Amino acid sequence: MAAASKTGLKKELGLLSVYALATGATLSAGFFLLPGMAYEQAGPAIVICYMLAAIPLIPATFSIVELGSAMPRAGGAYYFLDRTMGPMVGTIGGLGTWIALMLKTAFALIGMGAYITIYLPQLPIQPVAAVLAVVFAATNLVGAKKAGSLQIVLVAVLLVIMIGFISHGLTQTNTEYLAGFWGVGWSTLASTAGLVYISYVGVTNVASVSEEIKDPERNLPLGVCLAMITAVVIYGLGTFVMVCTLSPEQLSGNLHPVADSATVLAGSWGKALATIAAMCAFFAVANAGILSSSRYPLAMSRDHLIPKFFRHLNARRMPANAIYATLAIVLVIILAVDPIKIAKLASSFQLLLFAMLCLAVILMRESGLDSYDPGFRSPLYPWMQILGIASALWLIEAMGALSMLFTGGLLTLGVVWYHYYGKPRVERQGAIMHVFERLGRRRDEGLDRELRGIMKEKGLREQDPYEEVVIRGSFLDSSTKTTFEELTRQAAALLADRLYSDEDRIHADQIAEGFLDGTRVGATPVSHGAALPHLRLTEIRRPRMVIVRTGPGVHIEVDDPSVHAHDVDEPIHAVFYLLSPEADPSQHLRILAQLANHIDEDDFIQNWLSAASERELREMLLRERSYVSLQLDQDDDTSSFIDKPLRDVSLPEGCLVAVIRRDGKRLVPDGKAMLLDGDWITVIGNADGISSVYDRYVRSRTEGEVSSEEWSA
């Protein structure tokens, strides 16, 4: 855990930053520059072309968001492809996407020239673009939070102006300019859609910074989907306004169509506002481009596919060398080549990349890995992914030989680099090996361990019944010397008794043998003097646990010689027997991961052994402010609970009474249970709800000022 804190990136990006990064990386040259070029090919049908280009974006977006919520790691597409199809495909995706993003960033910086020359026609564009690239790189060196804050401001200004432009433009359309709207063939529509597809690709690039997103299971899907909707609406309505505002002669080949349209609609003020919006858009895509593209060399360096130079983090835990390298290449592109011509070719590679990411979701789903635990799952699986693959390949073919040749060059670069540099340094496979394993071939155990580590970092989900499992679990405090097998049989007996009360009759011997069999083959995690025997059964409906403290300690041995044996001399003082339903393996692993987080805390076993009561032991396992204990008293605010059935007690949303203690006995907290003066109740729930209960009822008392008898067995 300590190592992770030094080598991992800070989680500084909230939902608004995710939305701004995704939106700002999308609404730039594709809106302010490309419509005029696209009009040369498809005429007024460019509105249809922009909508067609969004079709492969939808399944690609859903696929990337699913992968990102399951594996929030720097590098985005590279990391996903590497972990699903192996390091060679990961190398192709990583190097190719890094190059494509740098071209798009340079494209945006140079693209500003078309709007700057409206007012400053003599200004040298390349030097200005180079200076701006340095400014954005410096902003990124300060931290993702600063870059995200700048992005929010830029996107806010951009959207306000664009909403005004579209709203005003829709009231003054000239439908005569739509003549010939349906006059182009499908081949022209497809080719033009491929040309403008680059307009959308930025919406998913935020996945490359998913390691820096707070609560990625919520903020990544929500932010990206909102950005995708925003982009499709603005591109569709915005191009319609341009087509219906400028004559064919004015729009065809126009390098500043938004500014000219705004001039027609609102005169010089419209022209000025459109130019400001264009500057914000180009600034935003350049800022987001440097932020996201620099994470690809960082991620590849972590995996030893490129030199370790790129994985260095500065004092602010930003990938400084990766940012420097990205900046240097962007400057070379700006000053030495024509990025506008080359960046168009990058669309075909992005399409191929998105097709591979749709395939990656299929491979992860079919791998059978319980540790693959996305917070967001793509709808309409696998048809959504099949559509994404087919539509992307269709657009690549329609774009012509030159684009396919460029994509082939990037594929060749990735294969050659991996063969000569990466292959001697890595032994990793991917989820595809787990698909093969289901067909009788080998699997990659390292991926399963890595995904379990990610689950541990992500923590529990709001709906996971962790607190309920801890509070309602049975407890054993063993002060006499015993064996692990005997302890397991005692725990199994307690679980069987509890399950019987729930009409889920499971024999204790069946449970005990399940725990013991898993331990013999090395499936029981053992660390820091604690063990986590775990088992899943089809016959039960919800998780159960037995919490054990054994002062003398027990020893665990592994019988399977192929598994590294635990140190039999290390005594185990804390054992947590977890029994979960077979139907929800991911929740089972998340509960285990949360327990492991507590076990890994400093001095856990020392505090475990010195705890004075069962209550203190349970509180060590609960998340901070995830529960509160109250004693009902006629003389304070809890008097409103007294002499009421539990179902009539009013608590904040998301909270419930998990335990009732009366005269040293634990009662089942069903809706009919009457609450009496002197009862102890334990309320569990989300942080906001528990804080509300705590502030209202506990007042000056703290959770620690509760007698140990309330938790007596």
- pLDDT by residue (tens digit) across 527-565? 888 999 999 988 788 899 999 999 888 988 765 444 444
350-401 pLDDT tens trace: 888 889 999 999 988 988 778 888 888 999 999 999 999 998 888 788 777 7
Strands 544-554 and 474-478: parallel
What is the spatial distance between Cα 78 and Cα 616, in angstroms, rounded to a whole number? 45
CATH topology of domain 459-614: Mannitol-specific EII; Chain A (3.40.930)
10-residue averages of pLDDT along the chain (713 residues) = 47 83 80 86 90 87 90 81 86 85 78 70 78 80 66 87 92 84 81 79 73 83 90 93 92 86 91 87 76 80 87 78 88 76 69 89 86 88 93 80 82 91 77 51 64 76 79 87 91 81 64 87 82 88 91 77 50 93 88 88 89 84 73 83 89 85 77 87 82 70 39 34
* Backbone phi and psi for residue 56, each to the nearest 5 degrees, phi listed first: -70, -15
Q: How far are the Cα atoms of 38, 200, 465, 514, 602 from residue 577, in angstroms, in the given order?
A: 63, 49, 16, 11, 22
What is the spatial distance between Cα 205 and Cα 209, in angstroms, rounded to a whole number? 8
What pTM value is reported for the model? 0.71
Q: Per the structure block, which two tokens stand in for 382?
A: 């696998």
Say which residue the tokens 């932010």 belong to.
Answer: 223
Q: Per the structure block, which two tokens stand in for 608?
A: 């475990």
Say which residue the tokens 């390349």 belong to.
Answer: 126
**Angle of helix 87-119 versus helix 257-293 axis, rounded to 10:** 140
What is the spatial distance between Cα 209 and Cα 226, in angstroms, rounded to a whole number? 17
Strands 572-581 and 530-531: parallel
- Long-range (24+ apart) CB contacts under 8 A made by 522-527 are 522/558, 522/560, 522/563, 522/564, 522/565, 524/556, 525/592, 525/596, 526/556, 526/566, 526/570, 526/572, 527/596, 527/599, 527/600
What is the spatial distance between Cα 564 and Cα 603, in angstroms, rounded to a whole number? 26
What is the spatial distance between Cα 630 and Cα 487, in angstroms, rounded to a whole number? 33
Q: Which architecture does CATH list for 627-711?
A: 2-Layer Sandwich (3.30)
* Backbone phi and psi for residue 13, each to the nearest 5 degrees, phi listed first: -100, 120
Instruction: Give strand pairing partners of 423.
Output: none
- Residue ranges of the chain assigned to CATH 3.40.930.10: 459-614
- Residue ranges of the chain assigned to CATH 1.20.1740.10: 18-425
- Residue ranges of the chain assigned to CATH 3.30.70.1450: 627-711
Q: Which helix (H) or strand (E) is 682 found in, with range?
A: strand 680-685
What is the spatial distance between Cα 58 and Cα 384, in angstroms, rounded to a whole number? 8
Give the burial class of 10: count Cβ atoms within 10 A of its Cβ; 0-12 exposed, 13-18 middle, 19 or more buried: middle
What is the spatial distance between Cα 179 and Cα 362, in angstroms, rounded to a whole number? 44
* Superfamily, domain 18-425: Amino acid/polyamine transporter I (1.20.1740.10)
